[in-house]
Amino acid sequence: MSVGEKCPHCGKQTFHDEGSHRKCSSCGCIGWGWQHPVKNVGKGKGNKCQTCGNQTLHVIAEFASHQVRRCGMCNFTCIEPTAEGAA
């Protein structure tokens, strides 16, 4: 894998562009700037976005206790607990 940017969490040069976010291949940290474009959020029908009303809200990252969704239309972002995280 090519060298990425410096990860804000672990400090290694392993922070790579994953489309709608950056992800560290070393520690799993994710992040994006407020102007980071929404792309590669998923194909097909997603969940309904509470902001724009389109069915374009897709999961971009998953963790044991949470998942991150971004809307491919209006850039709305939400972090929600998974079934394991809600318990």
Distant-in-sequence, close-in-space partners of 11: CB < 8 Å, separation ≥ 6? none
pLDDT digits (tens, 9 = 90+) for 31-77: 988 887 777 676 778 999 999 999 999 998 899 999 999 998 888 99
User: What pLDDT, on the 0 to 100 scale, is given for residue 75?
Assistant: 87
User: What pLDDT, on the 0 to 100 scale, is given for residue 38?
Assistant: 78
Could you give the CA distance from residue 15 to residue 30 in angstroms, rounded to a whole number?
A: 8
Please give the residue that has the higher pLDDT: either 3 or 16.
16
Quick one: pLDDT band at residue 87, thresholds 50, 70, 90? low
Quick one: pLDDT band at residue 84, thresholds 50, 70, 90? low
